[in-house]
Structure 1
Amino acid sequence: MEEPSVLADHLLLSFLSSPQSYPHRPRRVELLQTHISYVAIAPPYVFKVKKPVNFGFVDFSTLEKRRYYSVREVELNRRFCPAVYLGVVPIYAEGSNLRFGAGQRVAEYAVQMRRLRRRYFLRQLLARGEVGEREIETIAQALARFYHAESPILNAVGALESFRRVTEENFRQTRSSVGVVLSRATYEALQYFTELFYALKGSQLDQRKRDGWVRDCHGDLHSEHIHLAPKGLCIYDCIEFNDEFRCIDVAYDFAFLAMDLHFLGYPSLAEIFLGRMIEELADPGCRGVLDFYCAQRAYIRGKVACFKANDTRVPEKERTEAVEIGRRYFALALQYALCGLTTTAVVVMGKVGTGKSTLAEALARETSLPYLSTDCLRKELLGLPPTYRPGEAQRQEFYREEAVEQVYQVLYERAESFLRKGQSVVLDGTFGKRSRREALRNRLKSLGKACVFIEVDTPDPLRVERVTVRSVTQSGASDAQPQDLAVLDSLYESPEELEPSQRVRVSGVGSSEEVVSRALLALIQKRLLQELS
């Protein structure tokens, strides 16, 4: 058979979209597509046809390969939900016409499934607030039973070696999206995180394989593939096209769902799920690799979004949406690299004019974390716009000790509201008094949350220049004037009391991109080295 041309692809889409194409004559057909498949929802069935693509990690470039992987998809998914996967049906061509059933030659193959009711997909249940500890426990118990039923894979290929191949391909395939879907700082930081993890903790991946935790899993375990109906749980659409992506550490498999829960805005449920999985599997050792696994899962989803954004067969609106989705996944991967699985307050502090606010804003932007600034809060509490410039008398009133203390108290309270929900946060303030740093640390300790202080250090001449420019252009929320620096510096208490694990010093010299990149690498190195000590 000739492989599909643009015209053949158009004919296939037209065929799949028409209710008249199907023997059961559905009233309507909804056609969806991923980067590798066309999915026709024709109630009460779903038909999935693989696209003739070759991305390296997936190769559907010939009809025979599409037939083989369609059959494989049915076989593998019947492990999870046998009643849903009905079989593989050929699509025949007669001239320029396509049809199910008999015909002159097979043009394509479709996987036929029973349609699952949309209201019971996990993502829909989450959106309606119908998922709690009970539902999470049901999923965790079913997954644990499945993993226990699978035999360990103990071939000679090391887990570290397999992971390296996958991550190297991920970075290679997303390089062209730098500057479009993710920034160079994020790209390089995640590369650094991955390589440093391999250097410091890579042996743990091989040890987990020797301990029997690498098994034939699902491989694509996110919320859209979990159906939790009153009649029972169905987990469908596992990876069939690449055994290396499916035969993995069970913790890497369930880390996908934890990441997805976090991505959808349910970090507390992600934490509960991970705790239940560790308990059900009796596998506390996986904690040492879970943050790495979650980061890689987020990166892969970002990569998939890049593929969709670059696929000219996808409608322009969906391609634009894919860019934004990809940015969010890469930002989440960066959160895992910086904070691990621990909810953390990232505090950017330093003397006036060091560039701490510029760095804090950039960190919040790169990670998509909430950003709280003392300068912005001060104006907000007074009902003023951030760029409002007070007169001298008003400025003295704004910066009375009592007024400043009130701003910090509001900062703590707002940060705490995010942290209680399992959301890390970026804080921007001078934090020049030891008492204020202690107050924040004590509050976080009582919540069981972590914090790290980034002290930005910049030469005095450059600080004066920056404050002067900011004063003249009236940019930013800070009200500091060049003549204030000497007094403010005399009041600044260096954070010598902070433990090395809680403090990073970063130079504020250079472009914003250079400074944020420097900070990202320092934070990643600090966290991974700290875990080994």
Structure 2
Amino acid sequence: MEEFNSVVQSLQQPKAYPHLVNDLKTITTAVSVVFLTGPYAYKINKPMNLGFLDFSTLDKRKDQCEKEVRYNSLASPELYLGAIAITREQDGSIVINGKGKVIEHGIKMKQVDSNATMNHLLQKEKVTSHHIKTLAQKIIQFHRKAPSDAEISSYGNVETVQFNWDENFSQTEKYVPEIISREDYQFMQDKINHFIHKNQSLFTQRVLKGSIKHCHGDFHSGNVFIVPEGSYIFDGIVFNMRFPCSDVIAEIAFMAMDLEFHNREDLSHEFIAEYQRLSGDNDIPLLLDFYKCYRAYIRAKINCFTSDDKNISTEERQNTIEKAQAYFALAKRYAERL
């Protein structure tokens, strides 16, 4: 960790970069550190192992960076510019792509204004029908190129679908009744289990049709840039196959749910209509509410987990609980349609 901290400190200095740097900024997340240099953004992953995510060795971080560039380039090749090596030179300096010993790995991206994320633009009511149709075109192009094989397809079988929901319910039961009422919790569990049971053949058919892909995995408005030259989808999940490997309908359901959470049902309907027009996938109406419910429930669950964090303020905890409750309410609305 000491060497990683040295890398972070060095990359906060303009001399570490092989180009001119404008207004160098650092953004630290739970699992990575991002350096904004003006023309480019660089990301390195923290040396950690969280079980579902393992960046504990240099080789594993190299593998993660290469995968992240490779998979995300399928959606946004203009954004992902390649994996990079961070080296320690003979004079002890730490630089990007030098000639010395490789001590860390990262990725290089085109830098885009953080205010251009779709969730920010939704709040300002600047997302248009044209943007939504372009996004539908972009994600279906990605789905057509996205990998699919026997292992990936296995994530769409009915046993896995049931397991994922069982896990959701087991992990959220402790939040009854503080965040979700016993009545709503039981209602959704009954509706979901009944839907899965009566649609087993449909889930099987989706696998046989090749509809299970290595998708983006986190396709919501916070992971889309909208800029004058078009839209960029970014931050697809590659560190754990279980998260991105799913039915393509589960992927588009995430964006549709997110738009509805932002009170833009009109844009949600346009997005789905355009995707269905382009794909010709007639199963979308049969599974869309099921997967929207799944996505809303997971967002509620994540906010429940966040509310347990002892390091957040009372106000932050209350806001997080209210957000979880809003997602649970949305999930229930979808469950009522099943």
Instruction: Check the 8 A contact 1:136/1:272 in 2, yes or no.
Output: yes
CA 1:336–1:285 in structure 2 vs 1: closer, same or farther (change >3 Å)? same
Instruction: Check the 8 A contact 2:74/2:146 in 1, yes or no.
Output: no
**Secondary structure, counterpart of 1:243 in structure 2:** coil
Q: For residue 126 of structure 1, what is the amino acid of its counterpart?
A: L
Q: How does 1:269-288 map to 2 (within 5 A)?
A: 269-288=267-286
Q: How does 1:6-45 map to 2 (within 5 A)?
A: 11=5, 15=9, 18-19=12-13, 22-23=16-17, 24-33=20-29, 35-45=30-40
**Secondary structure, counterpart of 1:244 in structure 2:** coil
Of 115, 124, 131, the residue aligned with 2:127 is 131
CA 1:164–1:111 in structure 2 vs 1: closer, same or farther (change >3 Å)? farther
CA 1:147–1:25 in structure 2 vs 1: closer, same or farther (change >3 Å)? closer
CA 1:191–1:13 in structure 2 vs 1: closer, same or farther (change >3 Å)? farther
Q: For residue 59 of structure 2, what is the amino acid of its counterpart?
A: E
| Equivalence for 2:227 | 229
Instruction: Check the 8 A contact 2:14/2:24 in 1, yes or no.
Output: no
CA 1:150–1:234 in structure 2 vs 1: closer, same or farther (change >3 Å)? same
**Secondary structure, counterpart of 2:75 in structure 1:** coil
1:390-427 CA distance string (max 9 Å, x none): xxxxxxxxxxxxxxxxxxxxxxxxxxxxxxxxxxxxxx
| Distance in 1 between residues matched to 2:296 and 2:248, nearest whole Å | 17
Of 153, 164, 167, the residue aligned with 2:165 is 167
| Distance in 1 between residues matched to 2:306 and 2:31, nearest whole Å | 9
Instruction: Check the 8 A contact 1:217/1:246 in 2, yes or no.
Output: yes
1:159-201 CA distance string (max 9 Å, x none): 2122233333333444455555544444443333332221122
Q: What is the Cα deviation at residue 237 of structure 1?
A: 1.4
**Secondary structure, counterpart of 2:283 in structure 1:** helix
Of 19, 43, 47, the residue aligned with 1:48 is 43
Q: What is the Cα deviation at residue 47 of structure 1?
A: 2.8
CA 1:85–1:145 in structure 2 vs 1: closer, same or farther (change >3 Å)? closer
1:136-168 CA distance string (max 9 Å, x none): 222222222333344654557352122233333
**Secondary structure, counterpart of 2:64 in structure 1:** helix
Q: For residue 213 of structure 2, what is the amino acid of its counterpart?
A: R
Instruction: Check the 8 A contact 1:89/1:109 in 2, yes or no.
Output: yes
Are 1:81 and 2:107 counterparts?
no
CA 1:150–1:63 in structure 2 vs 1: closer, same or farther (change >3 Å)? closer
| Distance in 2 between residues matched to 1:98 and 1:304, nearest whole Å | 40
| Distance in 2 between residues matched to 1:326 and 1:185, nearest whole Å | 16
| Equivalence for 2:116 | 120
Instruction: Check the 8 A contact 1:21/1:99 in 2, yes or no.
Output: no
| Equivalence for 1:462 | none
1:245-291 CA distance string (max 9 Å, x none): 22321111111110110111211211221222222211122211111
CA 1:87–1:220 in structure 2 vs 1: closer, same or farther (change >3 Å)? same
CA 1:121–1:293 in structure 2 vs 1: closer, same or farther (change >3 Å)? same
| Distance in 1 between residues matched to 2:253 and 2:77, nearest whole Å | 24
Of 238, 241, 260, the residue aligned with 1:262 is 260
Q: How does 1:441-460 map to 2 (within 5 A)?
A: none
Question: Percent identity at matched positions?
Answer: 32
Instruction: Check the 8 A contact 2:12/2:35 in 1, yes or no.
Output: no
Larger radius of gyration: 1
- Which deviates further from its counterpart, 308-317 or 69-78? 308-317
CA 1:291–1:87 in structure 2 vs 1: closer, same or farther (change >3 Å)? same
Instruction: Check the 8 A contact 2:191/2:335 in 1, yes or no.
Output: yes
| Distance in 2 between residues matched to 1:200 and 1:251, nearest whole Å | 18
| Distance in 1 between residues matched to 2:260 and 2:208, nearest whole Å | 30
**Secondary structure, counterpart of 1:240 in structure 2:** coil
| Equivalence for 1:211 | 209
| Distance in 2 between residues matched to 1:91 and 1:314, nearest whole Å | 34
| Distance in 1 between residues matched to 2:95 and 2:213, nearest whole Å | 37
CA 1:26–1:151 in structure 2 vs 1: closer, same or farther (change >3 Å)? closer
CA 1:190–1:90 in structure 2 vs 1: closer, same or farther (change >3 Å)? farther
Of 311, 324, 327, the residue aligned with 1:326 is 324
* Residue segments in structure 1 that go unaligned for 5+ positions in a row: 341-527, 529-533
Instruction: Check the 8 A contact 2:304/2:321 in 1, yes or no.
Output: yes
- TM-score, scaled to structure 2: 0.81
| Distance in 2 between residues matched to 1:54 and 1:336, nearest whole Å | 35
1:60-113 CA distance string (max 9 Å, x none): 34443333212110111111111221233345689xx9944467672x433221
Instruction: Check the 8 A contact 1:162/1:244 in 2, yes or no.
Output: no
1:448-467 CA distance string (max 9 Å, x none): xxxxxxxxxxxxxxxxxxxx
| Equivalence for 1:143 | 139
1:306-335 CA distance string (max 9 Å, x none): 444445677887666444433332332222
- Report how many residues are paired: 330
- Which deviates further from its counterpart, 226-235 or 259-268? 226-235
Instruction: Check the 8 A contact 2:220/2:254 in 1, yes or no.
Output: yes
Instruction: Check the 8 A contact 1:19/1:29 in 2, yes or no.
Output: no
CA 1:119–1:27 in structure 2 vs 1: closer, same or farther (change >3 Å)? closer
| Distance in 2 between residues matched to 1:300 and 1:173, nearest whole Å | 10
CA 1:39–1:331 in structure 2 vs 1: closer, same or farther (change >3 Å)? farther
CA 1:247–1:22 in structure 2 vs 1: closer, same or farther (change >3 Å)? same
Instruction: Check the 8 A contact 2:75/2:138 in 1, yes or no.
Output: no
**Secondary structure, counterpart of 1:283 in structure 2:** coil
Q: What is the Cα deviation at residue 52 of structure 1?
A: 4.6
CA 1:141–1:50 in structure 2 vs 1: closer, same or farther (change >3 Å)? same
* Residue segments in structure 2 that go unaligned for 5+ positions in a row: none
- Which deviates further from its counterpart, 11-20 or 59-68? 11-20
| Equivalence for 2:67 | 72
**Cα RMSD (Å):** 3.5
**Secondary structure, counterpart of 2:42 in structure 1:** strand
Instruction: Check the 8 A contact 1:153/1:209 in 2, yes or no.
Output: no
RCO (CA 8 Å, sep 6+): is it higher in 1 or 2? 2
Q: What is the Cα deviation at residue 22 of structure 1?
A: 4.7
| Equivalence for 2:299 | 301
